Structures are given as structure tokens and as C-alpha cells.
Amino acid sequence: MDPNNRPAQLDSPAVGRVIKYGSRLNTRLYRLTGGRLGNRWRVGAAMRKPVPVCLLTTTGRKSGEARTVPLLYLRHGESIVLVASQGGLPANPAWYHNLKADPAVRIQIDSDAGDYAARIADDAERTQLWPSLVELYADFDTYAAWTERTIPVIICEPA
């Protein structure tokens, strides 16, 4: 992994703001339409092969308030698999820290929502799941190359 390959513009504070406001807009559209809008990611490697989007709700570890973000997901049996890539930025996303503090999460896929217990995949699970995640969205490999951190894979099992 060589973070020097990460485009310099990604380190701009503006990128964080764009991600934050884009996520808020996507979440609003998703909720308002029961997932008819905002349920597919069509950026980067997903231009030709759109990737499904869910809404993940965690409890803020500091605020105690519900925090919802749109994320790409992979169905794996009854579980939902998430990737804390944050576009290859150096730090894990806030939602990752929230679910580490409180693994009880809610996931909405289209108009269906359910409660899940989230856990970080161990090394063997991550190794097994990573090829399927990259098949789903090839840019996950690019993001991994842009950061020194190991991008966490999260397994959410029905509660």
C-alpha cells in the first residue's frame, strides 16, 4: 500500500464536506422515496455496473444520537457486509467508530429496515470476503492502495 498514490485533492477539506453533504442528500432522497432514489451508486467503477446502497444507522458514540449514512453493501447469506473504506482516506469513518462503541445498528435496504449486530470481520473472514467486495465494486482495491490502514470489513448479522 502506498498512500503517495492517493490523488492530492482527496486530502482537501473540501472533499470531506462534499462527502458529508452528499451523504446527507442521498440519505434524505433514499428515505423520502423508500429507496427508489439513492439506492444505487454510479461513480467510478460503478458507472457501468451500479452497486446497491443501504442506509446504516448507528448510535453516535459521543452524542448518543442516531446517525445515518448511505453505504455500499454486499449480501452474504442473511448478513450484510459493509466496507469502511472512506474513499481511501487515512482515517476510518465516524460510523465505524460508532458501531465499534455500540454494535446494535439498523440497516434499511429499499423500503425494508431491520436491526443487526455489527462486528468487524476477523482476518480470515476479511480475506474470504474481499474478492467478492472487489467484484461488487473494483474501486475498493484502489482505495486500499491509497491508504496505509487496513480497510475494515464489517459483518452485520440479523439481531
From the number of C-beta atoms within 10 Å of its C-beta (0-12, 13-18, 19+), residue 83 rates as buried
Residue 2 has pLDDT above 80, yes or no: no
E-assigned strand segments in 11-143: 40-41, 51-59, 66-72, 74-76, 79-83, 104-109, 112-120
Helix (H) or strand (E) holding 157: strand 153-158
SS3 154: strand
List pLDDT tens digits, range 16-68.
788 888 899 999 999 999 999 999 998 877 888 899 999 999 999 999 999 99
Query: How many domains does one find in the chain?
Result: 1
Instruction: Compute CA distances 16 → 59, 110, 140, 159, whole Å.
Output: 21, 26, 18, 32
Instruction: Compute CA distances 27 → 52, 60, 81, 84, 112, whole Å.
Output: 14, 17, 19, 17, 14
- CATH code for the domain of 61: 2.30.110.10
Q: What range defines the domain where residue 99 resides?
A: 3-158
Q: How confident is the model at residue 15 (pLDDT cuts 50, 70, 90)?
A: confident
Residue 5 has pLDDT above 90, yes or no: no
List pLDDT tens digits, range 104-142.
999 999 999 999 999 999 999 999 999 999 999 999 999
**The three three-digit cell numbers of residue 20, written as one number:** 458529508
Question: 117: closest CA among 90, 76, 64, 155?
Answer: 155
List pLDDT tens digits, range 71-92.
999 999 999 999 999 888 889 9
From the number of C-beta atoms within 10 Å of its C-beta (0-12, 13-18, 19+), residue 78 rates as exposed
Q: How confident is the model at residue 6 (pLDDT cuts 50, 70, 90)?
A: low
What is the model's pLDDT at position 4? 61
